[in-house]
Structure formats: C-alpha cells, structure tokens
C-alpha cells in the first residue's frame, strides 16, 4: 500500500488470546493449507453483493486433522460440501462462530475424510468491509455503478471464505459475471482487449497471499501505455491517466535492471474513483491507484514506482504476518526511491526521502514504544494500524543505511539475491535477519555491527547515526521560510516559481503549527494555493490556513474534502477544522454532504474524530 501515515483506521484492538499461528487469522496452517482457490462470482450491483462459490483445494499437513478452519466476515453461507477427485460432492457440517469485532466469524467445517476440495456457496454482505459499492453519482463519470475491493490487511475474508493470513499462499482461477456494460478487473493477468460481454475469466498462476486478492467492476476504458502495461480508468479519466503514467514501461525496465526480471507478466494500473481511501494498492498485475496523483506533471507518480516495487518486495517476498509488514513496506519504499532516482533524478528521490524522514521524526516520539519498533513485540497492534510510518519510513531508512555502509553495488547484489532466495515465499523478520547476517553483515566485516542491526529492527526511536540525505534546495527553502516568517522577505519574493510538488510540501510542512493570519493571506495572495488541484499541496495549505484562522479558505477546503476520499489527504483538514467549535460544526456540515462518497474506512475515521472532538473541551 502507499503510505497511510499514522492514521489509526479502527479503534479495534487485537484480542489478547494468543493463537497458534497468525494472531489475525483463525486458520490452522499446520493442519491444512489452501493451495488453490477457484471462484465463481456474479457482480450484483442492485443488491451490492457478490454471490457465487469458492472451491478451495486443500493440502493436508496433519493426517489426523478432522476440521478445516476458515476466516469469514459477514458472509451468508448457503452450503458447504466436499468435492472428491471425480467431482462427486457430499454435504459437510459446519459452524459459524459469533462475530468477533476485529477478526470476523470463525468458520469450522467438519472434514474427517480430509477431502481434496471444499466448496462453499455464499453471498457477501452489502456492508462487506473489503468491498465498496459506489452508485453512479459517486463515480467520476456518474453513469454506471462501480465496485472495488481493498483486501489488505484482513478484509479478503469479507468477500471470500478462506485462510486469511499472509503466511498462506495459493494460486487462483476466477470466473466472474457482471452487467454487459461493466468491465471486470482482478489481481491476475487482465486482457486489455477483452470484449464487454459480462463474462470474465482470470488465472493467477503464481501463489499469492489472500490480502492480494482483488476485484473491481465498472465503466472502465483501457489505454495501453506499453507492450505489457495499460491504464484502466473511467472513460473521462483514461487519457489523463495514460499521460500521467506514460513512464510505466520505463519504470518496469529500471526495476528489472536493479532487481531481476518482473515475474508477473503484465503490469496494469487501475485508477479508482476518488473515494479510494488509500494512495495505491499493489494488487498483482493490476495496481489500484488513487486519482489524486493525476496532477498533470508526473510529480506524484512515485506512487506507481512504489506499487510496482511491491512486485518484488511484498508480492514476491511477502511478510509472513502483519507484525513483519516492514518487510513489505520498508523495502518497497527503498526500492521506490531507487526507481524514482533513475527516472526523475536524485534531487526528487532525496527530497521524497527527506519528507519521509521528517514525518517520521515528528511522529515517532509520540507513538507507543512497541509501535516504534520495525518488528514489534506480539500483541496490542491492530492489523491495519501495523501499516504505520515506522514500517514505511524507518524501514526504508534502515535499507538506505545498509546501502550507505556497504556501498551501492554490494547492497544491490545482496537485495537481488534476497528477492531470488525468498521468491514466492512468506517470511518473518527473523528469516530475513538469518539471511542478512551471512550474506551481508558477516560477509563484509567492519561495515555494520550486528548490534546496530538489532537496534534498527528491535529498538525504539531512530538510531542516532541514521544518515540524512543532503538537499541544497530544501536548505534554500528553509532559509526562505525563516526570512519570510521573520518578516525580512515578503511572500511575493519567495523564489517559489520553480518549486516542484515536493518542495511546496516541504515549505508548508515546516510552517509553524499555528501561523499568523497575515502571513497565510500574503502567501495566498502571491501564490494562489487556495483551490489548488494538487491535493498534496492543498491538504498542507488548508491545514495551516485553517489553523491561522483564515475562514476565507473554508469553502475551497470543503471542496477538497468532498472531492478527495483518500484518508491521508482529507483527514488532516477535518482535524484542523475540528479544533474550534465553529470549525467542527462546519466540518460536520461538509461531512454530511461528502460521506456517501467516502469509503467506510474514511467514514469511520471522521466519525471517530468528531466523537473525540466533542468529548474534549475546546
Ligand atoms: Zn506499499
């Protein structure tokens, strides 16, 4: 996923009960593992549901096992049957436990014969946590409904009954029917020339973990951007998206030169409606992306570099549990930087790294000690909340430190070897460390001690000698900002004409939390930030202008909040408004109009903020 920042997505806490395996899954992979999934689904827009069946091929590990335990959430189960090698079926007994708030309903199927396959006929709930159903009004083109999934972290179980743990990998086939005018896309090779006939088939031949199961359906046009890449988007968005993402093939080439062949075949990008709560999701073969990166100048396409990088770090070599998620996100953020450097230059790559570093430095001290660790101790961290700045930014900082100590060539070779060694496996932090020690740390002695490695991985905070990239342009911006705040430089004399998106982000990020009103008005008069279509700049601008008490920006801030459902770009504006009673009342009005266009995750986050603002005294 692309950075969420440290927004708590749910107030759900991990139950203290320790499970034998992944604490976020009821599955018992020591007894049996799903090796293949066969899905037959119908997309039912009027009822906001998927209905059909999932057939699980089982690899029995324990010859005495008598049950198959699956993860489900809010599924309506119609029947469960065993399927033998000849295709003969026999009904199976099963129980569905009452719903746990975080984990869903444990499903126990009695399987004393340890069948080769189990088939479950079911329907999803209209409120499935992993699916979003948009009426036409909430799409860009407002003509047809749209549906998309977001399975990470533990939401696949709300649309497929399965073993929902990243430690378990399976191949899948899917046959999906939909209305004639809808195009269906999944996290498997997609045919860009597929006719609109309401009948789609997919074959994911590489074993993937459940959080990478993905589906979308709606009014999607396809524009090819290279021999193995295309953009899928609503018709009015497709041309703009194809332009923004025209470097995709170059990105794939760059990543291949660094880390070995792209092993998945096609790499396509699906641009979702604005309600997508994340930046991007690395669904295999088909990245799901937010439309907020379509700013016209490619300044935010490092999001694609990030999702593409997951084709190595995450999708190929996968964190075995949510506790190990830095193996996905930290390594990916590092690889993203390397791709950005080749395509857009060291200046932009260093600037992006610095923005990440500053975000982490600001946040890390306020986080509970355990969540400051790359590999936290067990317990107490929600599966969604594990995707924090620490996993992304401290993780990538650790890898940049390794690169600096061992030299780029040595480290590149090491990382390529790591991806090959663990290809199509799910691994723990400790397995990664067991590989790191002989293949890098001990192989090139004197560069980094094992204690330093352990401090990065298991320590709190940030190691003292963590290297920080130089950025003469950021240094110059620091000087300009200081002079402007001191009153020795007027806003119109800021040397901002050539600032890229990252440089504006940096200038705004480091303004005082509550700047003076006249300073904010002067910036706006000179640089017209109110109403900017660039949501990264807009979010930072509105937060500071609102804090300064500039009510003139409220209508444009409301437009930003309504247009953008991405959590990280919309929540901070809600937070800024909710600091005064009048602002809170305005935020509630905006939310009442905007909420139908938001993903449930965004709705939950805003509602939790309002509840908290009301209980605290203004
Ligand atoms: Zn990611």
Domain residues of the chain, as ranges? 32-309, 327-458, 472-615
Per the CB < 8 A criterion, the answer to whether 76 and 122 are in contact is yes
**What average pLDDT does range 442-460 have in this prediction?**
98
Considering the candidates 267, 334, 392, 574, report the single residue annotated as catalytic: 392
**What average pLDDT does range 88-103 have in this prediction?**
97
Lowest average pLDDT, out of 6-20, 166-180, 362-376, 441-455, goes to 6-20
Per the CB < 8 A criterion, the answer to whether 52 and 121 are in contact is yes
Quick one: how many helices (H) and strands (E) in the chain? 18, 21
**What average pLDDT does range 25-39 have in this prediction?**
97
Tell me: pLDDT of 386 over 80: no
Give whole-number Cα distances, 221 to 194, 199, 294, 597, in Å.
11, 16, 16, 21
Write down the mean pLDDT value for the chain. 94
CATH node for 327-458: 1.10.390.10
Tell me: pLDDT of 12 over 70: no
Q: List residues bridging with 69 in a β-sheet.
A: 108
CA atoms within 13 A on the CB side of 548: 23
Strand ranges of the sheet holding 105-110, from the earlier edge strand across to the other edge: 67-72, 105-110, 94-96
**What average pLDDT does range 250-279 have in this prediction?**
95
The span from the CA of 226 to the CA of 247, in Å, is 9
The span from the CA of 17 to the CA of 518, in Å, is 55
pLDDT in tens, 390-449: 999 999 999 999 999 999 999 999 999 999 999 999 999 999 999 999 999 999 999 999
Please give the pLDDT value at position 85.
87
Cβ-proximal residues to 144 (8 Å cutoff; 6+ apart), any chain? 136, 181, 182, 218, 219
Tell me: pLDDT of 16 over 50: no
Please give the pLDDT value at position 377.
86
Instruction: For the beta carbon of residue 246, count every other beta carbon within 10 angstroms.
Output: 16
Through-space distance between the first and last CA atoms of the chain, rounded to whole angstroms: 35
Task: Report residue 155's pLDDT band, with 50, 70 and 90 as the boundaries.
Answer: very high
Considering the candidates 234, 307, 341, 536, report the single residue annotated as catalytic: 307
pLDDT in tens, 127-139: 999 999 999 988 9
472-615 classified as CATH 3.30.70.100: no
Please give the pLDDT value at position 18.
35
Tell me: pLDDT of 618 over 90: no
Please give the pLDDT value at position 48.
98
Please give the pLDDT value at position 275.
84
Helices 326-344 & 248-259 angle (0-180, nearest 10): 110
Q: Give me the DSSP letters along 90-146.
A: EE--EEEPPPBTTTBEEEEEE-TT--SEEEEEEE--TT-TTEEEE-GGGSSS-SS-E
Task: Report residue 596's pLDDT band, with 50, 70 and 90 as the boundaries.
Answer: confident
Name the burial class of residue 574, with classes exposed (0-12), middle (13-18) and buried (19+) by CB atoms within 10 angstroms of its CB. Answer: buried
The span from the CA of 299 to the CA of 244, in Å, is 9
Distance 303 CA to ligand 1 centre (A): 9
pLDDT in tens, 568-578: 999 999 999 99
Tell me: pLDDT of 21 over 80: no
What length is written for the chain? 618
pLDDT in tens, 309-345: 999 999 999 999 999 999 999 999 999 999 999 999 9
Please give the pLDDT value at position 8.
34
Tell me: pLDDT of 586 over 90: yes
Distance 394 CA to ligand 1 centre (A): 14
Please give the pLDDT value at position 274.
87
Distance 49 CA to ligand 1 centre (A): 28
Please give the pLDDT value at position 420.
98
Is residue 307 flagged as an active site residue?
yes
Tell me: pLDDT of 5 over 90: no
Name the burial class of residue 529, with classes exposed (0-12), middle (13-18) and buried (19+) by CB atoms within 10 angstroms of its CB. Answer: buried
**What average pLDDT does range 143-156 have in this prediction?**
96
Q: What is the percent of the chain where pLDDT is above 70?
A: 95
The span from the CA of 117 to the CA of 212, in Å, is 22
258-262 own/partner pairs: CB under 8 Å, 24+ apart: 258/335, 258/338, 258/339, 258/412, 258/415, 258/416, 259/312, 259/335, 259/412, 259/415, 259/416, 259/419, 260/312, 260/416, 260/419, 260/420, 262/311
Tell me: pLDDT of 103 over 90: yes
Question: In a 3-state reduction of DSSP, which class is residue 293?
Answer: helix
pLDDT in tens, 202-214: 999 999 999 999 9
pLDDT in tens, 543-566: 999 999 999 999 999 999 999 999
Q: Which CATH architecture has domain 32-309?
A: Sandwich (2.60)
Cβ-proximal residues to 222 (8 Å cutoff; 6+ apart), any chain? 183, 192, 193, 230, 231, 232, 238
Whole-structure pTM value: 0.94
Per the CB < 8 A criterion, the answer to whether 590 and 558 are in contact is yes
**What average pLDDT does range 190-194 have in this prediction?**
97
**What average pLDDT does range 292-304 have in this prediction?**
93
Is residue 244 flagged as an active site residue?
no
Helices 472-486 & 346-364 angle (0-180, nearest 10): 60
The span from the CA of 449 to the CA of 18, in Å, is 34
Distance 314 CA to ligand 1 centre (A): 8
3-state secondary structure 132-156: EEECHHHCCCCCCCEEEECCCCCCH
Lowest average pLDDT, out of 7-16, 32-41, 128-137, goes to 7-16
- Where in 260-360 does DSSP place strands (E)? 268-271, 280-281, 286-289, 317-319
Per the CB < 8 A criterion, the answer to whether 599 and 132 are in contact is yes
Q: What is the percent of the chain where pLDDT is above 90?
A: 90
Please give the pLDDT value at position 597.
85
For residue 545, give the H/E element and its range: helix 535-547
**What average pLDDT does range 516-530 have in this prediction?**
98
Cβ-proximal residues to 88 (8 Å cutoff; 6+ apart), any chain? none
The span from the CA of 182 to the CA of 555, in Å, is 35
Distance 306 CA to ligand 1 centre (A): 6
In the chain, how long is the greatest CA-to-CA distance? Answer: 83
Please give the pLDDT value at position 385.
64
Please give the pLDDT value at position 601.
84
Lowest average pLDDT, out of 5-19, 31-45, 154-168, goes to 5-19
Distance 586 CA to ligand 1 centre (A): 33
Distance 282 CA to ligand 1 centre (A): 7
Cβ-proximal residues to 618 (8 Å cutoff; 6+ apart), any chain? 579, 580, 581, 584
Distance 295 CA to ligand 1 centre (A): 21
Please give the pLDDT value at position 378.
78
Please give the pLDDT value at position 3.
58
**What average pLDDT does range 490-510 have in this prediction?**
96
Fold identical between 327-458 and 472-615? no
């Amino acid at each position: 996923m692309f950075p969420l920042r440290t927004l708590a997505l749910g107030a759900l806490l991990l139950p203290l009960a320790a499970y034998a395996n992944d604490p976020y899954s009821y599955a018992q992979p020591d007894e049996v593992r799903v090796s293949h999934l066969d899905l037959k689904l119908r997309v039912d827009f009027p009822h906001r549901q998927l209905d059909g069946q999932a057939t699980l091929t089982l690899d029995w590990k324990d010859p005495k096992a008598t049950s198959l335990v699956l993860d489900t959430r809010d599924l309506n189960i119609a029947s469960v049957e065993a399927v033998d090698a000849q295709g003969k079926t026999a009904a199976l007994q099963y129980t569905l436990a009452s719903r746990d708030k975080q984990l869903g309903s444990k499903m126990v199927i009695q399987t004393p014969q340890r069948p080769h396959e189990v088939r479950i006929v079911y329907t999803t709930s209209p409120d499935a946590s992993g699916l979003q159903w948009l009426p036409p009004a909430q799409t860009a083109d407002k003509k047809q409904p749209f549906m998309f999934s977001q399975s990470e972290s533990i939401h696949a179980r709300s649309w497929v009954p399965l073993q929902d743990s990243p430690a378990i990998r399976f191949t899948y086939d899917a046959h999906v029917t939909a209305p004639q005018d809808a195009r269906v896309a999944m996290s498997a090779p997609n045919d860009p020339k597929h006719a609109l006939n309401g009948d789609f088939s997919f074959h994911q031949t590489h074993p993937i973990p459940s959080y990478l199961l993905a589906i979308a359906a709606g009014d999607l046009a396809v524009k090819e951007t290279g021999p193995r890449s295309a953009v899928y988007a609503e018709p009015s968005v497709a041309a703009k998206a194809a332009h923004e993402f025209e470097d995709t093939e170059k990105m794939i080439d760059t990543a291949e030169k660094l880390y070995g062949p792209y092993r998945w075949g096609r790499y396509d990008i699906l641009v979702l409606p604005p309600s997508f709560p994340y930046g991007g999701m690395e669904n295999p073969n088909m990245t799901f992306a937010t439309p907020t990166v379509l700013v016209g100048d490619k300044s935010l396409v490092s999001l694609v570099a990030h999702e593409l990088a997951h084709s190595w770090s995450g999708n190929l070599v996968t964190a075995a549990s949510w506790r190990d998620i830095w193996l996905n996100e930290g390594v990916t953020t590092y690889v993203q930087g390397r791709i950005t450097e080749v395509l857009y230059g060291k200046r932009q790559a260093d600037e992006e790294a610095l923005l990440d570093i500053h975000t982490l430095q600001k946040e890390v001290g306020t986080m509970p000690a355990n969540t400051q660790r790359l590999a936290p101790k067990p317990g107490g961290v929600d599966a969604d909340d594990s995707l924090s700045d620490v996993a992304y930014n401290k993780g990538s900082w650790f890898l940049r430190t390794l690169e600096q100590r061992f030299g780029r060539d040595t480290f590149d070779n090491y990382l390529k070897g790591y991806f090959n060694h663990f290809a199509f496996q799910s691994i723990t932090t400790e397995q990664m460390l067991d590989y790191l020690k002989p293949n890098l740390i001990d192989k090139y002695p004197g560069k980094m001690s094992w204690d330093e490695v352990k401090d990065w991985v298991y320590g709190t905070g940030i190691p003292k000698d963590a290297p920080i990239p130089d950025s003469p342009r950021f240094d110059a911006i620091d000087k300009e900002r200081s002079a402007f705040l001191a009153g020795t430089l007027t806003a119109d004399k800021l040397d901002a004409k050539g600032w890229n998106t990252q440089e504006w982000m940096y200038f705004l990020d480091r303004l005082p939390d509550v700047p003076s009103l006249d300073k904010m008005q002067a910036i706006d008069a000179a640089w017209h930030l109110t109403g900017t279509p660039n949501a990264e700049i807009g979010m930072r601008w509105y937060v500071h202008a609102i804090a300064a008490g500039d009510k003139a920006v409220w209508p444009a801030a409301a437009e930003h909040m309504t247009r953008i459902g991405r959590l990280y770009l919309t929540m901070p504006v809600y937070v800024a408004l909710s600091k005064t009673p009048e602002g809170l009342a305005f935020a509630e009005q905006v939310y009442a109009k905007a909420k139908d266009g938001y993903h449930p995750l965004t709705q939950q986050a805003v509602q939790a903020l309002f509840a908290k603002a009301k209980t605290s005294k203004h």
